[in-house]
Structure 1
């Protein structure tokens, strides 16, 4: 028997086993990360919904649970909005959003005309 051939086969098997262990560990870490992120998202959605329902329960017609939200350039976020329909039938509502103010990284106010031109 050729010892070099057997040694090469054993080394190959060891490398394959180590690779599978590392791959499995990576998959578990990614799965745990996304699972935790999904749980946090669900909790935030439930919290936002409770805030909207509490506000609408106080007789307000429109509820926005956030007074201020910071979203960086190129980023996106989901904001909750509640509207109380006092009509007897299903009604369509339109929401118009406009820029009220913008701030740079130093928290200095940016001129609104400039902010609209650079599409903040």
Structure 2
């Protein structure tokens, strides 16, 4: 009888050890997942900060208008985010608006497949272009950053899509206002025209 009792106690102890081992193993997996999840999130944060710093480094201190990283690769239905920096060196407060319009597209053989006369809206689905279309006030010697988001449609063919970006201010007092044709009395281009390139692989 004592032998049977000892066997039962041994079985119970063995079962307890197994349960404790499973619990410890589960906690270890959970803890490891938390560590990796935190590391991945931290890595994404560092990458975004690094990308923002690269954008700043690629813009000169005295560039009136600048897009830091002007080429991005995205899959269909994904978004490309660009930063447009504007520096006011007019000597007075400036009111300006941003203009982003489609220019050209090249297929994956680098042949022109679209131009401004055939919008991507008709040729390869609806592109979503999002940015601040309101009038922006910028004090003298201050700079401003605005985000431009371009979303590739799910049916966009492979290729490179180019968009013209202009900062427009003032009224039409010159003969070079084709860059700002529809900005409601903001017809003067400020700084050089910028190009955004979106590559759909």
Larger RCO (alpha carbons 8 Å, 6+ apart): 2
* 2:97 counterpart (94, 101, 106): 94
Residues 49 and 80, structure 1, Cα contact 8 Å, conserved in 2: no
Question: Which position in structure 2 is the counterpart of 1:34?
Answer: 41
Aligned pair count reads 115
The equivalences for 1:22-101 within 5 A come to: 22-52=29-59, 54=60, 56-57=61-62, 60-85=63-88, 86-89=90-93, 91-101=94-104
Any gaps of 5 or more consecutive residues in structure 1? none
Residues 62 and 81, structure 1, Cα contact 8 Å, conserved in 2: yes
TM-score (norm 1): 0.74
Q: CA deviation at 1:50?
A: 2.5
- Structure with the larger strand share: 2
Any gaps of 5 or more consecutive residues in structure 2? 128-201
Question: Which position in structure 2 is the counterpart of 1:18?
Answer: 25
CA RMSD of aligned residues (A): 2.5
Residues 58 and 69, structure 2, Cα contact 8 Å, conserved in 1: no
Residues 58 and 68, structure 2, Cα contact 8 Å, conserved in 1: yes
Structure 2 CA distance, aligned partners of 1:73 and 1:87?
44
Further displaced range: 40-49 or 15-24 = 40-49
Quick check: which has more Rg, 1 or 2? 2
TM-score (norm 2): 0.48
